[in-house]
């Protein structure tokens, strides 16, 4: 989301190439939920969050790759 307003400003865009950070996983999200935090980001709340704002803080899918130091999560494992 590159600007705040109503639901009409939400759009799907191609993401840049993503790589997992140390200690973190890279996930392919199959389903994402919109919750109170997302509606706040869409409006005037959390104005200190830089744009573009990525909505969908709740999701389910599977691991694609992991960064150094990740415990037992492996690529292909389902997550929620």
Q: What is the pLDDT of residues 7-39, one digit of tens each?
A: 777 777 777 788 888 998 899 989 988 787 777
Decide: residue 20, CB within 10 A, 0-12 exposed, 13-18 middle, 19+ buried.
middle
Sequence ranges of the domains in the chain: 22-79
**C-alpha distances out from residue 32 to 22, 38, 56, 80, Å:** 24, 11, 5, 10
- Indicate whether this model's pTM tops 0.75: no
pLDDT, one tens digit per residue, over 44-71 is: 666 777 777 777 778 899 999 999 998 8
At residue 22, the pLDDT reads: 92
């Amino acid at each position: 989301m590159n600007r705040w307003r109503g639901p009409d400003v939400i759009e799907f865009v191609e993401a840049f190439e993503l790589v997992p950070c140390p200690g973190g996983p890279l996930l392919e999200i199959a389903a994402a939920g919109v919750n109170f935090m997302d509606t706040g980001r869409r409006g005037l709340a959390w104005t200190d969050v830089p744009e573009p704002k990525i909505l969908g803080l709740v999701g389910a899918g599977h691991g694609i790759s992991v960064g150094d130091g990740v415990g037992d999560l492996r690529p292909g494992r389902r997550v929620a």
